[in-house]
């Protein structure tokens, strides 16, 4: 028996309007052209925990976002923010591993050896910087979720959305996962492709320790590898937009076509904001 995708009531196989909730249930043209955007069948929809939802938005977004819309949560979005903070710390340490320094191996003769700063006596500074950065990244991620979620909710409401704020924040939080995954790939790109920091850093020079962190940032931003990471991040916005189609449609009761339009507008704003801030 065919079931209504809105209220899960049984409906005749040839019905175009649900006799119970009166919603139009005919498959949209866009869903016929792009089967990936088809609404989930009722048997595919079931309650999921946050971890299962994190996997579900990547593997089976249609039923996963239907579940999120039915019962929004904030644990999953917070896990995304936490994972992102850890990945950002990993990117900093990956960059730091490319910085060399002179380490004294014989105090009597003054002999030195060149190696990664992370393996030097001063490596603790970089590990502590990465650790403190995790807290800052979490706070910044929460701020972005609040501001971005509020903006998205206003946009969804102005375009006819019916969902509440909890649904919007949950949908937005889960949909940012592709950006985090792309940053994780960025860690590998840094380790493989980033050249060694130009010149050996002398930590024994006055003020060298205090200025090394901004030096790394400037060196990284001017490298071609960082440009590749920026392009990868921008590309991940398209994946985010794809996920938002399901989230907007399920959380705010819109058509698939209208969800595509609103999602596209959100991605334009997201991309513009990223490059302006960057």
* Tens digit of each residue's pLDDT (9 = 90 or more) over 107-116: 566 565 666 7
Q: Averaged over 146-170, what is the pLDDT?
A: 88
Residue with tokens 């380490």: 103
State yes or no: pLDDT of 39 exceeds 90: no
Residues 128 and 98 in one domain: yes
Structural domain count of the chain: 2
- Sign of dihedral through CA atoms 147, 149, 88, 193? negative
Using 50, 70 and 90 to split pLDDT, how confident is the model at 174?
very high
Residues 124 and 257 in one domain: yes
Of the candidates 164, 35, 140, the one whose C-alpha atom is nearest the C-alpha of residue 84 is: 140
Contacts from 229-236 at CB under 8 Å and sequence distance 24+? 229/183, 229/186, 229/189, 229/190, 230/278, 232/182, 232/185, 232/186, 232/189, 233/179, 233/182, 233/183, 233/186, 233/274, 234/271, 234/274, 234/275, 235/182, 236/178, 236/179, 236/181, 236/182
- Sign of dihedral through CA atoms 209, 210, 216, 219? negative
Structural domain range at position 58: 48-277
Residues 113 and 198 in one domain: yes
Residues 26 and 52 in one domain: no
Does 41 fall in a domain? no
For residue 97, the model assigns a pLDDT of 85
Does 127 fall in a domain? yes
Q: How far apart (Å, rounded) are the C-alpha atoms in residues 37 and 248?
A: 12
Bridge partners, residue 100, by sequence: 116
Does 38 fall in a domain? no
Does 43 fall in a domain? no
Residues 27 and 56 in one domain: no
Does 40 fall in a domain? no
Which carries the bigger pLDDT value, residue 120 or residue 172?
172
Residues 117 and 251 in one domain: yes
Using 50, 70 and 90 to split pLDDT, how confident is the model at 207?
very low
Residues 23 and 111 in one domain: no
Residues 128 and 13 in one domain: no
């Amino acid at each position: 028996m065919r079931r209504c995708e809105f209220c899960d009531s049984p409906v005749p196989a040839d019905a175009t309007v649900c006799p119970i909730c009166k919603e139009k249930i005919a498959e949209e043209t866009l869903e016929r052209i792009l089967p990936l955007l088809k609404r989930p069948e009722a048997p595919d929809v079931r309650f999921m925990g946050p971890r299962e939802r994190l996997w579900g938005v990547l593997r089976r977004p249609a039923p996963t976002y239907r579940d999120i819309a039915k019962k929004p949560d904030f644990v999953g979005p917070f896990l995304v923010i936490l994972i992102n903070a850890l990945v950002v710390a990993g990117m900093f340490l990956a960059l730091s591993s490319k910085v060399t320094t002179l380490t004294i191996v014989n105090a009597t003769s003054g002999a030195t050896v060149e190696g990664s700063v992370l393996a030097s006596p001063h490596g603790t500074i970089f590990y502590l910087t990465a650790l403190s950065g995790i807290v800052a990244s979490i706070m910044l991620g929460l701020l972005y979720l609040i501001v971005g979620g509020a903006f998205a909710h206003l946009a969804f409401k102005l375009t006819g959305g019916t969902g509440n704020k909890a649904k919007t924040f949950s949908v937005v939080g889960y949909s940012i996962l592709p950006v985090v995954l792309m940053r994780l790939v960025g860690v590998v790109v840094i380790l493989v492709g980033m050249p060694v920091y130009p010149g050996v850093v002398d930590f024994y020079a006055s003020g060298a320790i205090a200025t090394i962190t901004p030096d790394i940032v400037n060196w990284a931003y001017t490298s071609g590898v960082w440009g590749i990471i920026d392009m990868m991040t921008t590309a991940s916005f398209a994946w985010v937009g794809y996920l938002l189609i399901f989230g907007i449609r399920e959380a705010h009761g819109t058509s698939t076509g209208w969800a595509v339009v609103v999602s596209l507008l959100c991605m334009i704003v997201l991309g513009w904001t990223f490059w302006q801030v960057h």
